Chains A and B, each alone.
Chain A
Amino acid sequence: MRRVGIIGASYTKFGERFDSNMQELAWEAFNDALKEANIEKDSVDYSIVSNMGGWSSESLPAVIVSEGLGINPKGSVRVEAACASGSAAIKLAHDIIASGQADVVLALGVEKMRESPTKTIVEYIGRAGNFMWEFENFGLTFPGYYALYATAYMSKYGAKEEDLCEVAVKNHYYGSLNEKAQFTNRITLEKCMSSPYVAWPLKLYDCSPITDGAAAVLLASENFIKEHKSEAVWISGIGYATGTANLSKRDDFSGLDAARRAALQAYAKAGINPDRPASQLDLAEVHDCFTIAEVMAYEDLGFAKKGEGIKLVKEKQTYIGGLIPVNLDGGLKAKGHPIGATGESMIAELYHQLLGKVKGGRQADIKNGRALAHNVGGTGHYAYVTILSLDRSDHA
């Protein structure tokens, strides 16, 4: 297998992007990534477009994007792994290059959620489980699925709603330093606590917003990177797993089994000690679609023991200077969550962080040269953990 590196990555301003259509958003992300990689678009051998859709008008986003970027007639495909679609695109791009079938592959995520009204979007995401036995009869919503986890977690470990809100406060703080974030306002614990319930015990400020946006990551083979003398960040391990479609088929509602499995796989591939992963990483992007999701991520990734994720955020251990900084771009919570583009945006953030290129007072100290992205689709239906490294040989 060949080594695979990232040579350029970018994401658009996230938010309600009524100013741009799907092709324009994709172009905005792609053009920046291309400039950064300093390559011609003809170098792209294949593209993978991650998009969930339903709420947006285009049924064939991969061809819409290919035409819009002017990369026809190169092959393309659309992938769906719910909110982890972007990481699925990265994994497939990695595998195509690693196996020698292409030298440069584009993973591009794009989502135009705001083409539909809020209630329709709530409807679509609520169907992201088992349609017949969860949605059709019981009207579950995406916050509702995670609220089932929040209730179980709080009951088991004595966590409080205030503790969850601490995650929102942190992510809004870093969002305020990221000009591409959907929310650039800081919030207080009181502001989060006084926001209305969306799915008890989760409140409005526990939830990531509805977001339009695109993110592009250009991946290349070791040979291509050498030839073009590109500045690269290397992929040193990708772990992946699935969880049951139907939540009722699970036994434990205090963590996501698929995420734990994906993490262990990624650690094994990247040569990271699963008992103390935080000491070998400089920062992490974790899937905080809801505040409870970030707390469970700390534990599923082994940054904290079971039931101690709350302690990590309360002690500010996931701010810069702590045990491991998490979501320095504001996370899904403040940066925004354009479902199919979220995964690539995490990788784009880590790429720039590892290269020390992040401005605005939210650059992490890079000592180990390694970072982790934890991207969950649905409610632990899909999980991808991707580890990036500055060191090409950093691979078990």
Chain B
Amino acid sequence: MSDETEKLKESAEESKKKFGSPIVVDQKTSSSLWFDQRELNVRYLISINRIKKFYEELSKGKVMATKCNKCGEIYFPPQSYCNKCGSNSMSWIELSGSGELLTYTIINVKPQSFSHYPDYAIGIAKMPQGVNVLAWIDGDVRSLRVGMKVRLEVKRRDPEGYLTYWIKPE
């Protein structure tokens, strides 16, 4: 819960005791607000069934894309079918070598679920295989510039402790 919500909750609890209803008053507008008594937590189960090999290769330190066996189209994020030619026959190829940083940003105001991280840099890299990869950048943000050479690196994301990929300046 954010500090903002925590304060509102305290005030709603007080209002319930005194007044009977969880009503809070907005300081700026003096408007009365009902403090929701029902909380909803959301966490999704997302199918990665048809691209499971991506995660198997990730555990070996490789970042993989898929390539259509019929028309040669390359997909990243990996896609289990080809919407260009209609084929379901795909192979896996590694995204390796020297890429080019197309653009980047530093996230200063973070979403709730990322608020435990220090400010992080996100970039998009064009890989020699012809597809782009969006990821966090592992490196000194002051040295970043559009067009610089980068490569991909796989390592654990803490504190969650799961494997993911980074863009790393060369």
Contacts and interface: CB of A to CB of B under 8 A. Distances in A.
Interface of A: 16, 18-19, 57, 117-120, 122-123, 126, 130-141, 143-144, 147-152, 155-156, 196-202, 246-251, 253
15 contacts: A18-B26, A117-B4, A117-B5, A118-B2, A119-B4, A119-B111, A138-B122, A139-B107, A139-B122, A147-B106, A151-B105, A151-B146, A199-B107, A246-B134, A249-B132
B136 interface: yes
Contacts, number: 121
Interface residues of B, number: 42
A120 B8 CA distance: 15
A133 B77 contact: yes
Interface string B75-86: 011000000000
A152 B146 contact: yes
A149 B124 CA distance: 11
Interface string B105-126: 1111111111101001010100
Interface in B30-88: 31, 33, 36, 44, 46, 76-77
Interface in B122-139: 122, 124, 131-136
Nearest to A202: B105
B106 to A, nearest CB: 4
B34 to A, nearest CB: 9
B33 A141 contact: no
A389 B131 CA distance: 43
A155 B146 contact: yes
A215 to B, nearest CB: 21
B103 A18 contact: no
B164 interface: yes
Contacts of A199: 105-109
Contacts of B122: 138-140, 144, 148
Nearest to A207: B109
A19 B124 contact: no
A143 B157 CA distance: 23
A247 B107 contact: no
Nearest to A136: B46
A70 B4 CA distance: 36
A131 to B, nearest CB: 8
What 5 pairs between A and B have smallest CB-CB spacing?
A139-B114, A147-B105, A18-B31, A123-B111, A155-B146
Contact of A148 (B44, B111, B124): B124
B143 interface: no
A148 B105 contact: yes
Contact of B112 (A122, A197, A246): A122
Contact of A248 (B4, B76, B145): B76
A123 to B, nearest CB: 4
A118 B111 contact: no
Interface string B126-170: 000001111110000000011100000000010000001000000
Interface string B1-18: 010110000000000000
